[in-house]
């Protein structure tokens, strides 16, 4: 099988010389982090300011029935003070947040640390006025506007636990999360402009709150000024409250293990889980990964294109960058509005140095041609990152050659909502990259590959199986909100004494890790186990294919057959000839065993709102089991599913 589709890319000498870590530094730090984790993190925990310094560093157990994770447990601190107050003396006038609106015709904002601090304090005092205190839950349902960051930091400041619900989710999804956390307040905005269209968020909140049994107040930001409906009571404008409260809000002293936020997973594999993150370990790890993975230096402009509704937005738009005193760019819009050059136009305009996006966006933009990229000056780019799904080598190469002009290192970061920060990732000055591999572990992370059925650890360097993590790292999730048993059952029951990631993985002879897809997605064809990612990569490597998703379906002879959903490039027409061509193509790329048994032309694929393909739905369609599609509340466009059902391939 193709292990290294397009060779390796070592860091340039210049990058290695100037980076926070070159290969020798990475090796030494990684070895130290594994041989004595407590000593390593005792040292690096000091990168944030503590009110009361910790004396205990690590107290963690993955033992069956007794999973308990504590880091820096006797220390106290405040995350908002770490992201704002501690920078005021040295960089109060430096831009903390660059805000780029949906429309390029509207002005961008440059908000200094002093301004963000003031706005955060005003919002924090407004929340207090509404009765919110330490330990209370606040739900955010917001556009990508600076107030979303103020709201997160305001909650952190007063010790409230935020739970962000992506603003594209339905009123039902919002209601479930407000009820689930018994939130006191929902923070929202009147409207959310995105891709040239405006959604009325306040209306969705009103609709959601009808179905919530307890009293919930609503704090509303004026973004668009559009007409909205106000409930009979319990609704407040932020700008009106700001006029009545003080701009002085001392940060609450929080225990390291106090929860900072709840965040639901994407729901790619089932019902979303309310992941709970802590205060101390999370902020130490988010800031350290931000600095090392992106090789962030003072004065750099950092842009992560995620929404704050995803963990990526939490760790790498707000908490990591601001804890590091960085300038972070927040973008309200979408990659294709007003056209497919928007990302690159913003990179040029704000002289972006580190750019971090998802493979789904890269694939979409790749399909639009290179002109959109080549029009813009991207010479300030120093690091390009990806997250969210395996990046197929085809897209990696496009990112590398067309966007990065062959000179900018790519960091393919593997991590999860549950992990709080990057677990597998190259460091730009240290790690030679291989397209499609998330490469090697971050400091303190011990990945292991287990034999899927026996659970035995495979010690050979080259190995394939399920990816587990052997020991805790500071930003590990602490529990599932309100359901510690589900936490233990989901992550610690299948493979005793390990954290189970749910992902399949291969380790090559150099010790590099390659995510092969979700364990649930592994196909077993005539006794050969195959990750879906590999077959998809082969399909996407064909010039006429824009995107592909592969699942297994019951097959009389082989046990499982390969069912491929294929989206063609704009302008390409489906034909029997092309179907044959693709079969031959995959066969040649991977081998006869991987030849798709059925190929269905798919104008669109079912995706989560964060752009991940929901293979569990495709599997049900391939299995002819439409009655049991499961939770579809996090789907971006449910109509895609109807089309796929209608045009399902006959397996007769």
Minimum gap (Å) between residue 309 Cβ and Mg ion: 15
279 is in an annotated binding site: no
Minimum gap (Å) between residue 310 Cβ and ligand ATP: 6
601 is in an annotated binding site: no
417 is in an annotated binding site: yes
Binding partner of residue 389 among Mg ion, ligand ATP, none, CB under 5 to 8 Å per kind? ligand ATP
Minimum gap (Å) between residue 428 Cβ and ligand ATP: 15
Question: Which one of the spans 203-211, 495-503, 522-530, 639-647 is the region binding ligand ATP (CB under 6 A)?
Answer: 495-503
Q: What's the rounded Cα separation, in Å, for the pair 156 and 79?
A: 6
Q: Does 358 bind ligand ATP (CB under 6 A)?
A: no
Q: Which of 402, 438, 475, 535 binds ligand ATP (CB under 6 A)?
A: 438
Question: Which one of the spans 224-232, 265-273, 359-367, 427-435 is the region binding Mg ion (CB under 5 A)?
Answer: 265-273
Q: Does 159 bind ligand ATP (CB under 6 A)?
A: no
616 is in an annotated binding site: no
Q: Which of 95, 269, 354, 431 binds ligand ATP (CB under 6 A)?
A: 269
Strands 254-255 and 76-77: antiparallel
Q: Are 440 and 413 in contact (CB under 8 A)?
A: no
The site for Mg ion, by CB under 5 A, has a size of 1
545 is in an annotated binding site: yes
Binding partner of residue 390 among ligand ATP, Mg ion, none, CB under 5 to 8 Å per kind? ligand ATP
342 is in an annotated binding site: no
Minimum gap (Å) between residue 265 Cβ and Mg ion: 5
281 is in an annotated binding site: no
Q: Among candidates 103, 81, 102, 84, which has minimal Cα distance to 94? A: 84
Beta strands in 446-587 (DSSP E): 447-450, 463-469, 479-480, 499-507, 513-518, 523-525, 528-530, 545-555, 559-568
Q: Which of 193, 335, 502, 552 binds ligand ATP (CB under 6 A)?
A: 502
Q: Which two tokens stand for residue 386?
A: 């990806």
Question: Which one of the spans 189-197, 260-268, 280-288, 637-645 is the region binding Mg ion (CB under 5 A)?
Answer: 260-268
Q: Which of 73, 85, 332, 503 binds ligand ATP (CB under 6 A)?
A: 503
The site for ligand ATP, by CB under 6 A, has a size of 24
Q: Per-residue x/- marks for ligand ATP, 597-636, CB under 6 A?
A: ---------------x------------------------
The gap between the terminal CA atoms of the chain, to the nearest Å, is 30
Question: Which one of the spans 112-120, 163-171, 220-228, 388-396 is the region binding ligand ATP (CB under 6 A)?
Answer: 388-396
Q: What's the rounded Cα separation, in Å, for the pair 411 and 391?
A: 11
Question: Which one of the spans 57-65, 381-389, 454-462, 469-477 is the region binding ligand ATP (CB under 6 A)?
Answer: 381-389
Residue with tokens 């009808």, as numbered in its chain: 210
- Count of helices and strands (H, E) across the chain: 22, 30
DSSP string, 257-311: TSEEEEEE---SSSS--EEEEESHHHHHHHHHHHHHHTT--TT-EEEE-S-TTSH
Question: Which one of the spans 35-43, 133-141, 175-183, 409-417 is the region binding ligand ATP (CB under 6 A)?
Answer: 409-417
Q: Among candidates 558, 652, 643, 651, which has minimal Cα distance to 601? A: 643
Q: What's the rounded Cα separation, in Å, for the pair 102 and 212?
A: 32
Distance of CA 612 to the CA centre of its chain: 10
| Per-residue CA distances from 248 to 88, 125, 126, 329, 615 (Å) | 14, 8, 11, 26, 49
> By C-beta, is 132 or 365 nearer to ligand ATP?
365
> Which 25-44 residues touch ligand ATP, going by CB under 6 A?
none
Q: Does 416 bind ligand ATP (CB under 6 A)?
A: yes
Backbone angles phi, psi at 538, to 5 degrees: -65, -45
Q: Are 420 and 469 in contact (CB under 8 A)?
A: no
> By C-beta, is 49 or 488 nearer to Mg ion?
488
Q: What's the rounded Cα separation, in Å, for the pair 567 and 603?
A: 6
Q: What's the rounded Cα separation, in Å, for the pair 512 and 3?
A: 10
Q: What's the rounded Cα separation, in Å, for the pair 129 and 14?
A: 53
Known binding residues for ATP are 388-390, 412-417, 503, 518, 529
Binding region for Mg ion (CB under 5 A): 265
- Binding residues for ligand ATP (CB under 6 A): 265-270, 272, 387-390, 412-417, 438, 501-503, 515, 518, 612
């Amino acid at each position: 099988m193709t292990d290294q589709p397009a060779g390796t890319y070592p860091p340039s000498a210049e990058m290695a010389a100037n980076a926070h870590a070159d290969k020798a530094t990475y090796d030494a730090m990684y070895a130290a982090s594994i041989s004595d984790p407590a000593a390593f993190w005792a040292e690096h925990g000091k990168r944030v300011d503590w009110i009361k310094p910790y004396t205990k560093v690590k107290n963690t157990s993955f033992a069956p029935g007794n999973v308990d994770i504590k880091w820096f447990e006797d220390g106290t601190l405040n995350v908002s003070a770490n992201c704002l107050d501690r920078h005021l003396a040295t960089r109060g006038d430096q831009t903390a947040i660059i805000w780029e609106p949906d429309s390029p015709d509207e002005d961008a904002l440059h908000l200094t640390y002093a301004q963000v601090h003031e706005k955060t304090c005003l919002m924090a005092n407004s929340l207090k006025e509404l009765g919110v205190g330490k330990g209370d839950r606040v739900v955010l349902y917001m556009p990508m506007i600076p107030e979303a960051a103020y709201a997160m930091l305001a909650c952190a400041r007063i010790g409230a636990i935020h739970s962000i619900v992506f603003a594209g989710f339905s009123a039902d999804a919002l209601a479930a999360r407000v009820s689930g956390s018994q939130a006191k307040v929902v923070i929202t905005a009147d409207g959310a402009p995105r891709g040239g269209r405006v959604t009325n968020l306040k209306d969705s909140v009103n609709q959601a709150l009808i179905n919530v049994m307890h009293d919930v107040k609503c704090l509303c930001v004026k973004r668009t000024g559009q007409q909205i409906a106000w409930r009979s009571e319990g609704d407040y404008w932020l700008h009106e409250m700001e006029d009545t409260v003080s701009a002085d809000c001392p940060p609450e002293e929080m225990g390291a293990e106090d929860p900072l936020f709840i965040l639901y997973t994407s729901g790619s594999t089932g019902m979303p889980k309310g992941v709970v993150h802590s205060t101390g370990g999370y902020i130490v790890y988010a800031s350290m990964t931000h600095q090392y993975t992106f090789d962030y230096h003072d004065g750099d402009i950092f842009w992560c294109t995620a929404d704050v509704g995803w963990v990526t937005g939490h760790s790498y738009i707000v908490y990591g960058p601001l804890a590091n005193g960085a300038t972070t760019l927040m973008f309200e819009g979408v990659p294709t509005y007003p056209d497919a050059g928007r990302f690159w136009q913003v990179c040029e305009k704000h002289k972006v140095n580190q750019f971090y996006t998802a493979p789904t966006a890269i694939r979409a933009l790749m399909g639009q041609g290179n002109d959109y990229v080549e029009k813009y000056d991207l010479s300030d780019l120093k690091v390009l990152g990806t997250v969210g799904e395996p990046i197929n080598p085809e897209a990696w190469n496009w990112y590398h050659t067309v966007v990065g002009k062959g000179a900018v290192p790519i960091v393919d970061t593997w991590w999860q909502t549950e992990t709080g920060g990057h677990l597998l990732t190259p460091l730009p000055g240290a790690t030679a990259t291989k397209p499609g591999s998330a490469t090697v572990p971050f400091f303190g992370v011990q990945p292991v590959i287990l034999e899927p059925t026996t659970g035995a650890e495979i010690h050979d360097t080259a190995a394939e199986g399920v990816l587990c993590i052997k020991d805790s790292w500071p930003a590990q999730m602490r529990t599932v909100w309100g359901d510690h048993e589900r936490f233990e059952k989901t992550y610690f029951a299948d493979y005793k004494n390990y954290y189970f990631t749910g992902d399949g993985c291969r380790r090559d002879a150099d010790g590099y890790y390659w995510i092969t897809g979700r364990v649930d997605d592994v196909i077993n064809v005539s006794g050969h186990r195959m990750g879906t990612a590999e077959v998809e990569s082969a399909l996407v490597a064909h010039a006429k294919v824009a995107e592909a998703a592969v699942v297994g379906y019951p097959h009389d002879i082989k046990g499982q057959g390969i069912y491929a959903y294929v989206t063609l490039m704009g302008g390409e027409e489906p034909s029997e000839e092309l179907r044959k061509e693709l079969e031959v193509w995959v066969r040649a790329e991977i081998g006869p065993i991987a030849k798709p048994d059925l190929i269905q032309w798919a104008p669109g694929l079912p995706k989560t709102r964060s752009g991940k393909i929901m293979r569990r739905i495709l599997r049900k369609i391939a299995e002819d089991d439409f009655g049991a599609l499961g939770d579809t509340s996090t789907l971006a466009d449910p109509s895609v599913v109807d089309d796929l059902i209608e045009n399902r391939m006959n397996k007769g």
